A = this chain, B = another copy of it.
Amino acid sequence: IAKEVAKLLEMKAQLGGDEGKHKFVLKTPKGTRDYSPKQMAIRERVFNAIITCFKRHGAEVIDTPVFELKETLMGKYGEDSKLIYDLKDQGGELLSLRYDLTVPFARYLAMNKITNIKRYHIAKVYRRDNPAMTRGRYREFYQCDFDIAGQFDPMIPDAECLKIVHEILSDLQLGDFLIKVNDRRILDGMFAVCGVPDSKFRTICSSVDKLDKMPWEEVRSEMVGEKGLSPEAADRIGEYVQLHGGLDLIEQLLQDPRLSQNKLAKEGLGDMKLLFEYLTLFGITGKISFDLSLARGLDYYTGVIFEAVLLQQENDHVEEPVSVGSVAGGGRYDGLVGMFDPKGRKVPCVGVSIGIERIFSILEQRVEASEEKIRTTETQVLVASAQKKLLEERLKLISELWDAGIKAEVLYKKNPKLLNQLQYCEETGIPLVAIVGEQELKDGVVKLRVVATREEVSVRRESLVEEIRMRTSR
């Protein structure tokens, strides 16, 4: 049936193209969207804030292709691999759209034998997930990644990643937030002392990862029912995953009779303590929570993991702040580059990914609500005329302005009415109008009008550029 449906869809697509216009479905693919100029203006603001932060931390920037060899992506994402978009086999290589920016980054490092880099990468990634577009969940979405690769002293780069998340979320003024932190080694140690068999670590970790969306009871029954974990082991896990706190909790777990006997957990807890010391120096521990229920879905993490959530607090009736979803996440993945190296040479990495789409949804809703008027162009001046037959003069003047670097527009009409030209400025927020008329041409001047105040001054043509610059500089 699937084959037949595919055949029919293919035929339909071909007919659509050949037979004519009226059969087109006018839409973007499921889970994707266009950005209008207004949305782009908001998007650029957010990008600017993020890029400024990444550059403040000394990052370089790279770019990679939107698709990779299919084999590059295989075996990196665990249960999520089914969400990868494959390209049709049209002869040649088997390709897939990138699922994140981390695996392409690791491939880039291994391919170019780079052992040391701090880079950011902002680009779209693709997941055949169930879209929830009102909540900012798309099939095509941006990731803004910052990663530090290299062999360094422990937890310094890790702490910087958390500092970056803190800076960006503060800068964007999204309201209160919390950054949850855990460590894969602590999780694995915990699984071991709770009696989870080694072979079930990853799948039980996936279950724990669902705790932010499901209550413990459901997660427990998935562990026991679907994944065959013993009820006793599940209950022991249940006790640990409700713990969260700060340095005090780390100290407490370092004394925990079971965990303290486990090598991995001890290593993880030791590093977590060091991390908190650095975060204290950065002055950001107030928004950091060491949280044993944080697991992160992806297979490739090996050490510290973290996730930032926004806290709902606008509604006063809500007693406790409620998480409204993750806006950033990341962690340490020391083994990923080695998977691509022919000799398995490892390059330790830690990085953070900012979930721009959700942030963007929030800001867009805020702009809508505030009725703030957002300009979508930067035009400084409209070149206009009060009389007819002055198109040539308008074109001559605007050409002079463009060549001097002034942002200028002209209406594409031979004889536009002055009123229409002024109205265009009001609508689009152009602050100045340069009006040419027969008298002005004779006198060698241009009338410059300030749209907001309706003030008009006569400016000598040779001083016009300077005058416009002065009046439009902040």
Binding site for B on A (CB under 8 A): 2, 6, 9-10, 12-14, 16-18, 21-30, 32-37, 40, 43-44, 55-76, 85-95, 97, 107-108, 110-112, 117, 119, 124, 126, 128, 140, 148, 150, 152-153, 156-157, 159, 163, 167, 278, 281-283, 338-342, 344, 376-379, 391-392, 395-396, 399, 402-403, 405-410, 412-414
Contact = CB atoms under 8 A, between A and B. Distances in A.
A460 to B, nearest CB: 21
A281 B167 contact: no
Contact of A156 (B26, B91, B112, B412): B412
A108 to B, nearest CB: 5
Contact of A111 (B27, B55, B89, B402): B27
Contacts of A117: 37
A413 B152 contact: yes
A63 B91 CA distance: 30
Contact of A377 (B60, B111, B278): B60
| Number of copies of this kind of chain in the complex | 2
B86 A55 contact: no
A283 B64 contact: no
Contact of A25 (B16, B69, B159, B281): B69
B24 A281 contact: no
Contact of A282 (B24, B163, B395): B395
B55 A407 contact: yes
A410 to B, nearest CB: 8
A344 B30 contact: no
A34 B55 contact: no
A40 B65 contact: no
Nearest to A281: B395
Nearest to A335: B21
B90 A87 contact: no
A394 to B, nearest CB: 9
A150 B412 CA distance: 9
B33 A408 contact: no
Nearest to A151: B412
B74 A14 contact: yes
Given A91-B2, A163-B402, A157 B412 contact: yes
Nearest to A10: B94
Nearest to A105: B34
Contacts of A61: 37, 40, 44, 376
B340 A68 contact: no
Given A27-B111, A87-B85, A119-B37, A74 B377 contact: no
Contacts of A85: 87-88, 90
Given A28-B65, A36-B62, A71-B16, A57 B342 contact: no
Contacts of A395: 156, 159, 278, 281-282
A56 B342 contact: no
Contacts of A338: 21
A342 B30 CA distance: 21
Nearest to A164: B402
A36 B114 CA distance: 11
A112 B70 CA distance: 36
A438 B278 CA distance: 20
Given A21-B340, A392-B281, A33 B65 contact: yes
Given A55-B377, A412-B150, A24 B399 contact: no
B16 A74 contact: yes
Contact of A412 (B63, B153, B339, B377): B153
A2 to B, nearest CB: 7
Nearest to A92: B30
A156 B410 CA distance: 10
A65 B21 contact: no
Given A26-B340, A26-B342, 13 more contacts: A9-B94, A10-B89, A17-B71, A22-B344, A28-B68, A36-B112, A37-B119, A40-B63, A86-B87, A156-B391, A156-B412, A163-B399, A281-B396
A72 to B, nearest CB: 7
B56 A402 contact: yes
Nearest to A344: B21
6 contacts: A17-B73, A24-B72, A59-B377, A86-B88, A87-B87, A152-B413
